[in-house]
């Protein structure tokens, strides 16, 4: 049980002022790191949320809590590169196959197949991370390992 900083009377943890002397009581300090309550597994899982995981990946890479956790940083880089692959497929292939010379009725099929493959990779990685398994995706995993080794 805490005591008043002015008179020594017992006070409740939620009290702002002492009931006996009226002295202001110090508030407990808030954690400086907003990620202090997040486990490494949760941080890794958040990096693979389809289409929005890039935000979590950047936060994880910028945080001081996971600066030394190579597994979490690997998953953050890999999730970030999966999102970059999604953007490349969406912007580049989508634009290329919408050109007039590609008048085939199946012209949107190729970019959509790539998007489905990337989406399946996100889901696959969520399952792998939830089982605490480290899995390196073919091209994106090599890039993530290279980025990880450059930061050591």
pTM beyond 0.85: no
CB of 102 closer than 8 Å to CB of 82 = no
- What CA–CA distance (Å, rounded) separates 128 from 126? 6
Average pLDDT estimate for 24-44: 79
Lowest mean pLDDT among 33-37, 60-64, 89-93: 33-37
Summarize pLDDT for 91-136 with one digit per residue, the tens.
887 666 666 655 566 667 778 889 999 999 999 999 999 999 999 9
Q: Which residues contact 51 (CB under 8 A, 6 or more apart)?
A: 83, 86
Q: How high does pLDDT run on average in the chain?
A: 87
Q: What is the mean pLDDT of residues 60-77?
A: 93
- Reduced to 3 states (helix: H, G, I; strand: E, B; else coil), residue 33 is coil
Cα 73 to chain centroid, rounded? 9
Main-chain dihedrals φ then ψ at residue 17, nearest 5 degrees: -125, 150
Does residue 18 have a pLDDT over 70? yes
**Residue-wise pLDDT tens digits, 69-98:** 999 999 999 999 999 999 998 888 766 666
In 3D space, the residue among 50, 49, 44, 45 whose CA is nearest the CA of residue 70 turns out to be 44
Please give the Cα distance from 42 to 53 (Å, whole number).
Answer: 12
Domain boundaries, the chain: 1-30, 40-150
From the list 67, 43, 59, the residue with the least C-alpha distance to 130 is: 43
Q: Hey, how many other C-beta atoms are within 10 angstroms of the C-beta on 52?
A: 10
């Amino acid at each position: 049980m805490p005591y008043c900083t002015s008179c020594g009377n017992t006070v409740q943890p939620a009290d702002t002022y002492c009931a006996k002397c009226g002295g202001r009581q110090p508030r407990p300090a808030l954690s400086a790191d907003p990620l202090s309550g997040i486990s490494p597994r949760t941080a890794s899982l958040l990096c693979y949320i389809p289409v929005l995981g890039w935000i979590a990946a950047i936060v994880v890479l910028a945080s001081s809590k996971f600066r030394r956790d190579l597994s979490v940083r690997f998953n953050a880089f890999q999730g970030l590169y999966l999102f970059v692959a999604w953007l490349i497929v969406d912007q580049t292939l989508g634009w290329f196959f919408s050109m007039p010379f590609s008048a085939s009725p199946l012209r949107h099929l190729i970019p959509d197949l790539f998007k489905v493959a990337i989406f399946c990779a996100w889901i696959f990685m969520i399952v792998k991370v939830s089982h605490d398994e480290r899995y390196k995706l073919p091209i994106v995993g090599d890039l993530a390992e290279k980025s990880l080794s450059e930061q050591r």
